Amino acid sequence: MVWSKYEGTATTTSLSDGTATLTNGTEIGAGTRQGRMSYLLSATGGATTYTLTLGANKTTLRLIVMEFSPTAGKTWSFDIEGTGTGNGTAIATNSITTTGTDEIVVGAVGERSSAGAKSSPQIAGIAAAGSKFEPASWGSWQWYRILTATMNGTASITNSVSEQWYASVMGFTAAAAGGEPGPLTGFQTHRTILTGVCDDILAGIDG
């Protein structure tokens, strides 16, 4: 799962891990800042270089990468996407309704001026299980929750200053319901979120 952000008017984007091209979500933006979530349902773990190709020259490129793996014998499928744009301190996508009971829901946000400090990342009103925040100059944050039941709600976060923002949320369900999707694995910076349930690896790329 990759959140990409750039400055400039809307353009086409293509994101690759060197082996496969990621599926793009909806491009969203505020003024001259744009962003979108992209994903692979199956990827090779370990150190990976992600390459973002844009249809026109842009500045201030940002990527945040999260990698998840389901329990053995299960595979991911795309469930649902939502987006939102606005102006203020309360950031939230539109509401989504998931369909799976083995589900990862990931939210992401970018903003116009990147001046504010972010806090309280949530999925459906409940604190995220993990998140990756880049310094204020990046103006990007990505977070997630692991679900064992369906949900209806938004991906939300609070900004310390009022500014234009754009946000996205995606849900992915395991092929077979009934068990927790975990552990989570990936690359670069590691920290344990819930011992024995999920470990996450979160990486930020400044370009």
pLDDT, one tens digit per residue, over 8-23 is 888 888 999 989 999 9
Tokens representing 47 are 């150190």
Percentage of the chain beyond pLDDT 90 is 43
- Pick from 70, 20, 26: nearest CA to 50: 20
Sorted by where each begins, the domain ranges of the chain are 2-206
Give the mean pLDDT of the chain: 80
User: What residue type is assigned to position 140 of the chain?
Assistant: S
- Per-residue pLDDT tens for 103-119? 999 999 988 766 677 88
pTM (2 d.p.): 0.83
* Residue 200 in this model has a pLDDT that exceeds 60: no
Half-sphere exposure of 161 (CA within 13 A, CB side): 11
- CB count, 10 Å around CB of 78? 13
Give the Cα separation of 111 and 87 in Å (integer): 9
Tell me the pLDDT tens digit for each residue of 39-95: 999 887 777 888 888 888 877 778 888 988 887 788 899 999 999 999 999 999 999
The type of residue at 8 is G
- Bridge partners (DSSP) of residue 168 are 83, 108
Residue 134 pLDDT > 80? no
